[in-house]
Amino acid sequence: MVSTRGKEGPLDAVSWYAWETEETDAGWLLTYVDVLSVILAMLVVLLGQMAMQRPQPPEVESETVDVIRELPVIAGKATPQASAESISAESLLISAIETRFQDEVSVVQREQGISLEIADVILFNSSRAKLRPEAQPVLSRLAETLQEIGEANISVEGHTDDRPIRGGRFQSNWELAAARANAVTRFLLNQGFSAKRLRSISYADARPVADNANPAGRAENRRVNLRVEFL
């Protein structure tokens, strides 16, 4: 009888070695798949971030501008934090003035705050300091707009041309400009503005914005400015 025990030993060794080798190969494949999964996940995250930062098409930008133009209507209801993060109070006011007042009120950008300029022909008759009836609707809408945007310090500035006053109630352009500034300030007080946030200033003809040598220039110099500085 031929014994087969000696032959079984080497076969068992070969089988054991093959089994160990197969297990090692499988573990390597699993690790490789894990690495690929991590890389794929990172690519998905990066692509998502790039998509969020992609510039908006023109039609989307146009819609954004339209939304900003509507902000002045609801600015008074927004929280201060939301307003600061989205758009400044000065920008809201500029947008509102350009949209609502057209040629009635113009905006002048200052280093600190902005200035709203109203021609005297809208507010007063010649050499007078009493508000015209037609001026009150304009000032009412302006007051409402300012209150919607937020609390601010407002300086009401009276300006004239350089022609001297001859007779009448006022002795000089200083008195006329002061009386006009006071009239606008009084109107704002009646609209609910805080007295501590208002002041009235007369500049007479000391700060012209145009040439007083011609009628058009003198008309530009006769004005009332509201210098607005939001808190």
Query: How many angstroms separate the CA atoms of 44 and 153, rounded?
Result: 51
Q: What pTM does this model have?
A: 0.63
What is the largest distance, in Å, between two alpha-carbon atoms of the chain?
151
Residue 98: CB partners within 8 Å, gap ≥ 6? Answer: 107
- Tens digits of pLDDT across the chain (231 residues): 444 444 444 444 444 444 444 444 555 555 666 677 778 777 777 776 665 555 555 544 454 445 444 444 434 444 444 444 447 899 999 999 999 998 899 998 877 779 999 999 999 998 899 999 999 999 999 999 999 999 999 999 999 999 999 888 899 999 999 999 999 999 999 999 999 999 999 999 999 999 999 999 999 999 999 999 998
Distance linking the first and last C-alpha atoms of the chain: 111
Do 85 and 76 contact (CB within 8 A), yes or no? no
